[in-house]
């Protein structure tokens, strides 16, 4: 039998040294999901200091908290990462996969919460809709409901709480100076307009992200006006009611025609010159309401 070749002692030592060198060499490609240094060396806001932070929303680099706040104010950026932003397949990593998985979990959790809502789960039959209209009429509110299929009819979440004997309104808030729109669901009718707007434009108690978007309102020195469009008028005759922010929602809606739910236009005082106001008397409102 032929004997297997035996390596010399010197060659064995040289191979062992090469294996050690290969192990000590750093990896060229970073691991997937590992943190990398910022690509930009300078702050994109001040342009002088070294960048330390990157905005999850617009990917802009900043060096300090003042620069972060300044870039949010200049670019109207809320700093919240867009979970539905497009990511190319070449840039898709395990972190993006984990983010998508968590996003789907949040969607499933929200859908499950809505499915457990007894008010939404309960079908709104014609008998219940007639009851709501009659109940609103007793409070001096002329409620008009659209046929099934209209978008306002589908999104309307207004209900009547039998236990508290009050309406819980679906309220839409429009801020034209900031081009923003928000929706409040199940607002009790004894809540004042100021209490409804506090989470949006209050300088101290409002949500920071919303306050940043509505900074023109939160920092206004002249205050705001709350207007509501007068319904059942000709298209070329658009008029608005001016609501009292210190009164309850029920008092403000009294003697007025409401189609599905109230829509409040929050405008800066002095900038509503193109929105003509109209004080509708109770008798004229009653005639409009009887036209249903």
Which pLDDT tens digit goes with each residue over 56-70?
Answer: 888 888 899 889 888
Strands 142-144 vs 240-243: parallel, antiparallel or unpaired: unpaired
Residue bearing the bigger pLDDT, 174 or 234? 174
Instruction: Specify whether the CB–CB gap between 214 and 197 falls below 8 A.
Output: no
For the chain, where are the E strands, in sequence order?
A: 53-54, 61-62, 142-144, 159-161, 166-175, 180-188, 224-229, 240-243, 257-259, 263-268
Q: How far, in whole angstroms, is CA 288 from its chain's centroid?
A: 35
Is the predicted pLDDT of residue 155 greater than 50, yes or no? yes
Alpha carbons 176 and 73: distance in angstroms, whole number:
18
Pick the range with the lowest mean pLDDT from 31-40, 100-109, 116-125, 263-272: 31-40
Q: 98 phi and psi, to 5 degrees?
A: -65, -40
The model's pTM:
0.54
For 30, 32, 52, 58, 122, the CA distances from 36, given in Å and listed in that order, are: 8, 10, 12, 18, 52
């Amino acid at each position: 039998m032929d004997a297997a070749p035996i390596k010399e002692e010197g060659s064995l030592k040289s191979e062992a040294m090469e294996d050690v060198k290969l192990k000590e060499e750093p990896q060229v490609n970073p691991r997937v999901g590992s943190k990398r240094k910022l690509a930009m060396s300078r702050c994109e806001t001040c342009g002088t200091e070294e960048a330390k932070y990157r905005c999850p929303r617009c990917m802009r680099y900043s060096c300090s908290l003042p620069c972060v706040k300044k870039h949010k104010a200049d670019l109207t950026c809320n700093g919240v990462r867009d979970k539905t932003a497009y990511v190319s397949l070449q840039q898709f990593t395990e972190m993006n996969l984990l983010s998508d998985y968590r996003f789907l979990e949040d969607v499933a959790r929200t859908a499950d919460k809505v499915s457990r809502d007894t008010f939404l789960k309960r079908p709104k039959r014609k008998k219940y809709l007639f009851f709501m209209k009659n109940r609103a009429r007793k409070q001096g509110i002329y409620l008009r409901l659209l046929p099934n299929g209209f978008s306002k009819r589908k999104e309307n979440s207004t209900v009547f709480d039998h236990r508290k004997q009050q309406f819980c309104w679906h309220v839409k808030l429009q801020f034209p100076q900031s081009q923003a729109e928000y929706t409040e669901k199940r607002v009790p009718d004894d809540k004042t307009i100021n209490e409804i707007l506090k989470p949006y434009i209050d300088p101290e108690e409002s949500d920071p992200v919303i306050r940043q978007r509505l900074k023109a309102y939160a920092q206004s020195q002249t205050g705001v006006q709350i207007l509501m469009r007068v319904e059942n008028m000709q298209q070329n005759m658009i008029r608005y009611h001016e609501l009292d922010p210190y009164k309850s929602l029920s008092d403000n809606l009294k003697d007025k025609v409401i189609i599905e739910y109230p829509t409040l236009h929050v405008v800066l005082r002095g900038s509503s010159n193109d929105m003509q106001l109209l004080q509708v008397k109770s008798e004229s409102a009653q005639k409009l309401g009887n036209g249903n």
